[in-house]
Amino acid sequence: MTSKKRWLTCAVAAMMTLSFAACGTYTDSTTVSDEPESSASETAGSEETPDASSAEGEEETASGGDSFTIVATQPNTLNMIQSQSNLDNYCFYLTQEMLFRPYDGVYSPEVVDTWEVDETGTVYTYHLKETNWSDGTPITADDFAYYFLAQLDPAMGSANATTLITTYGFVNAEAYYNGECDVSEVGIKALDDYTLQLTLEEPKADFDGTNITCYPLDADFVAEQGEALGGTPENYMCSGPYVLADWTYGSSLTYEKNDQWLLADEQFLVETVTMLEATDANTSVSMFESGEVDAVLSVDDDYLSILPEENLQYFVFNALKAVQLNTLGQGDAEKIALLSNENFRFALSYALNREAIVAAVTPTDTPVNRYLFAPMTGNSPETLFEDDYAVESVPLAGDAEQAKAYLQAALDELGYASVDELPALSYLTFENEAYRLMAETLVDQWNQVLGLGNITIDLKPIPDAIQSMMSYQYDIYYTSLGTGAVPSGFFNMWITGGSANDVAANGSNIFSNEEFDALVDEAQRTMDREDRMALYAQAEQIMIDESPLIPISTSGNYAAVASYVDGFMYNSNDNAIELNYLTVNK
């Protein structure tokens, strides 16, 4: 018995040893914020001796702090030719020079020293400053030209050519993309090492010569890297405020300040920026609360009430969430008549209480009843389009009585005695929690308000759902669309033959209105800003009245930012986390 007890005691001791061998006070030196001794003392030191610091006179450089750590989703790729994601641009913005750098929606010259436009409004000539890649080799106008040319090159596998062609309309860009002309014939040219010339087919009113996102890209480096381009820091060239020092997939990106950058003494003063992968929502918030990170770019709805209000910053995205009706009815005449019926569409729209839906399902969104909303600017860069131009649309809270009246009108027009006779409709959406919940809520409201029991939800994995949408195999589809920084970005998707309208590119438009097309076309050629915006406002009203796109909300986001951080900025028009004037005063 004694022996048995001794053996058991040994076993328990061994297990305890195993369990707690690694435990103890957490004192890892690599942690960002659990080292109050070092960071606090450094800060305290600098604060306590301002005179001593200033005594160093002109040699002193501005400081934004030693480090800034933020939880944000990682880029998909740093291949600047094949990149399609806004997330990639977060990295490009921090690590590349730009002709003009946007900050909070306003573009300022960076590499461009001076620039002029000819009297036709189509030839833009940019004179560049001398600047270098982070390895010290000079950046030339060729590098900026190649950034666009590579995306237009059909051999490079870029999905961005169509957008470039539509947005800027460079001379022969489309022909080059289609393999019909030589690169030398494209209106993107380096006249010499420091002169870049962009020639447009015709003046683009929404392009003022500065609002262009253009980074340098070294053609030789691209050729040397081949398929590996942009996969790791070693396969990526930096030229901007920061150098990408490390990229651990699924974990973190570390940016070190690039002292060679043109404006290194004025902007992006924080020495090291670390972006941690946005993982579990609870983990992100716990890391913020424990001080392991200084900010979380996107706080999950469920955790907003936990965090102090003063730490939350709201950002609105230029993204529309809307219900889209397939007016082609999958070839079924009965469905075509129903889904194209204006009264039926209004009935669906008026039945929805957008305020209640958004509050319940996507509380960080903002309910909308139109297409051009904040942050879309209006008559001037300082005003919002939605403030400058009101529209006649459905009330945000909906109107159940009006919805029923519209439905009755639709039934009368289409010859149905009751809603029970309506054809079955499928609501196609993504197979994930957020989209499923939205689908259930919308279908439930249509059922409660209008008595529509003919709508079934068709959940599919994202690739499958998108393929179904692109082949028009749906009746109702819940879509999310970027609205762009200027109205033409969104409206061009909805003109006859537009990319969101005629997704199969075979002439099967779900919306076609000649007046709308003409207004959008005219607006894009109207150089006077106020006149242009007035035309866009008319186009928007036509879309509200006629198009099968029922707006629900615009995406929004709460970021959590520590109280010792100043100058944190995110702007969805610029697709960037803008740390230009960020200071960390830990």
Partner 1 sequence: MAKEWFLLRKYILQRLVISVVTLWLIVTVCFFLLRLLPGNPFASTTLMTQETLDRMMAYYGLDQPLWKQYLTYMGNLLKGDFGYSLKYAGRSVNYVIASTFPVSAQLGLQALAFGIPTGLLLGILAAKLRGRAADAGINVFVIICTAVPTFIIAALLQYFLALKLELFPVAQWKSFAYTILPTICLSLGTVSGYARSMRTLMLEVDRQDFLKTAKAKGLGPARIVVFHQIRNAIIPMITNLGTEIAGMLMGSYVIEKIFSIPGMGAYFVDSINGLDYTMVMGLVIFQAVIVIGANFVVDLLYGVIDPRIRVR
Phi, psi of 114 (to 5 degrees): -135, 160
Nearer to partner 1, 45 or 154 (CB): 154
Least distance between partner 1 and beta carbon 525 (Å): 24
Residues with Cβ within 8 Å of 186's Cβ and at least 6 positions away in sequence, in order, are 149, 152, 170, 171, 172, 173, 176
Least distance between partner 1 and beta carbon 555 (Å): 11
Least distance between partner 1 and beta carbon 263 (Å): 28
Instruction: Work out the widest C-alpha separation in the chain, in whole angstroms.
Output: 104
Distance CA 493, CA 505 (A): 12
Look at the block and give the residue holding tokens 């149905």.
416
Least distance between partner 1 and beta carbon 576 (Å): 17
Could you give the C-alpha distances from 300 to 292, 364, 478, in angstroms and in order?
Answer: 18, 9, 21
Both tokens of residue 331? 């070839």
Radius of gyration of the CA atoms of the chain, in A: 28
Residues with Cβ within 8 Å of 552's Cβ and at least 6 positions away in sequence, in order, are 321, 322, 323, 352, 354, 357, 358, 367, 368, 442
Nearer to partner 1, 165 or 407 (CB): 165
Nearer to partner 1, 85 or 120 (CB): 85
Nearer to partner 1, 54 or 305 (CB): 305
**In 3-state terms, what secondary structure has residue 455?**
strand
> Of 74, 566, 69, 94, which Cα lies nearest the Cα of 295?
69
Nearer to partner 1, 145 or 278 (CB): 278
User: If 0-12 CB within 10 Å is exposed, 13-18 middle and 19+ buried, where does residue 239 land?
Assistant: buried
DSSP labels, 523-535: HHT--SHHHHHHH
Distance CA 215, CA 89 (A): 11
Phi, psi of 274 (to 5 degrees): -120, 125
Nearer to partner 1, 67 or 408 (CB): 67
Nearer to partner 1, 269 or 495 (CB): 495
Least distance between partner 1 and beta carbon 535 (Å): 24
Both tokens of residue 482? 């970027």
CB 523 within 8 A of CB 530: no
Nearer to partner 1, 191 or 306 (CB): 306
> Of 181, 170, 232, which Cα lies nearest the Cα of 204?
170
Least distance between partner 1 and beta carbon 228 (Å): 6
Nearer to partner 1, 77 or 441 (CB): 77
**In 3-state terms, what secondary structure has residue 3?**
helix
Least distance between partner 1 and beta carbon 127 (Å): 33
Gap between the terminal Cα atoms of the chain: 61
Least distance between partner 1 and beta carbon 315 (Å): 19
Nearer to partner 1, 234 or 528 (CB): 234
Phi, psi of 24 (to 5 degrees): 140, 180
Nearer to partner 1, 57 or 463 (CB): 463
Distance CA 224, CA 100 (A): 28
Nearer to partner 1, 445 or 575 (CB): 575
Least distance between partner 1 and beta carbon 389 (Å): 25
Least distance between partner 1 and beta carbon 439 (Å): 15
Nearer to partner 1, 456 or 467 (CB): 467
DSSP 8-state class, residue 585: -
Q: Name the pairing type of β-strands 295-296 and 123-128.
A: unpaired
Least distance between partner 1 and beta carbon 269 (Å): 25
Least distance between partner 1 and beta carbon 288 (Å): 9
DSSP β-bridge partners for residue 257: 242
> Of 137, 117, 139, which Cα lies nearest the Cα of 129?
139
DSSP 8-state class, residue 183: G
Distance CA 34, CA 290 (A): 8
Distance CA 420, CA 407 (A): 12
Least distance between partner 1 and beta carbon 283 (Å): 5
